Amino acid sequence: MKKTILFTIAIVIFLGCESPAVRRSQIVEQHPEWQAGTKKIINAGFLSVGMSADQVKAAWGRPCWSCTGTVKHKGLDTPRTWEYQTQIVFFDKDGKVTHWTKK
């Protein structure tokens, strides 16, 4: 009985640490230079025009690297588009979000 309870508690703690809300807040805490408004948007799981690639990852997680919609600018390390399950995010040559759209 004790083992079952301990196992259940361990699973709950592990899953709680992996939730998007917890991940977002942990990433936001690591970036005191981000503006308060941007942090609020990220913690809510939304994007805004002008966000950096790191801020998009904080809000939505990593994009699908094997998807055809995830592309880098030629000759630059900045992303051009990132594909997610239902959305594609578009970046300018400076790596800032210009817009996003449903697939």
For helices 53-60 and 36-43, angle between their N-to-C axes, nearest 10 degrees: 40
- What tokens appear for 13 in the block? 């703690």
**37, 47 in Cβ contact below 8 A?**
no
| pLDDT (0 to 100) of residue 12 | 44
Give me the domain span that covers residue 86: 2-102
Please tell me the total count of domains within the chain.
Answer: 1
Where is pLDDT greater, at 27 or 3? Answer: 27
pTM of structure:
0.76
Task: Give the whole-number percent of the chain exceeding pLDDT 90.
Answer: 62
pLDDT digits (tens, 9 = 90+) for 48-85: 999 999 999 999 999 987 887 778 778 777 789 999 98
